[in-house]
Amino acid sequence: MTVGVLFVCLGNICRSPAAEGVFKAIVHKTHDTPGDFRIDSCGTGGGSSNWYKPNGSSYHQGESSDGRMKKEAKKRGYHLTSRSRPLVPDDLRTFDHIICMDGNNVRAVMEAAKFWGPDVLDLLEDACHGLYAALSDSASKQANNTAEIGFHS
């Protein structure tokens, strides 16, 4: 089974492609079958207010990552090769994990989902509840492990 991970930022030229590149490198280095993962990134229009609507525009679409980010990533052995693209309705159906880089990105994704229809919003709500449960469970386990080895907060 393939696990889909999508990173989302504003213009898809800096943070989300960097996260995509770093995550791909980690998966390829540490996972026996990297094909088990589908990793991508996208943006929320780069500041265009109508990016998710029919005939809407998305700033930076088709551009490569910001040159400064590519330079810094290369110093650490990461290669940022993706091209900027906006989030599309199908992303919400096909990716298991959608990681937004900040709260504004979360709000933009939710706004687009509302526009795209109730079925898409249902998918997002289900995914958010599942992610919250997984993170809460992980935090509880981490707290228990920390307590077991003698560290206290």
List, by residue number, the catalytic residues.
9, 15, 119
- Give me the half-sphere count of Cα atoms (radius 13 Å) on the Cβ side of residue 6: 26
Tokens linked to 5: 């991970």
Cβ proximity of 27 and 17 under 8 Å: no
Residues 6 or more apart whose CB falls under 8 angstroms from that of 62 comprise 83, 84, 85
CA–CA–CA angle 90, 16, 65 (5° rounding): 110
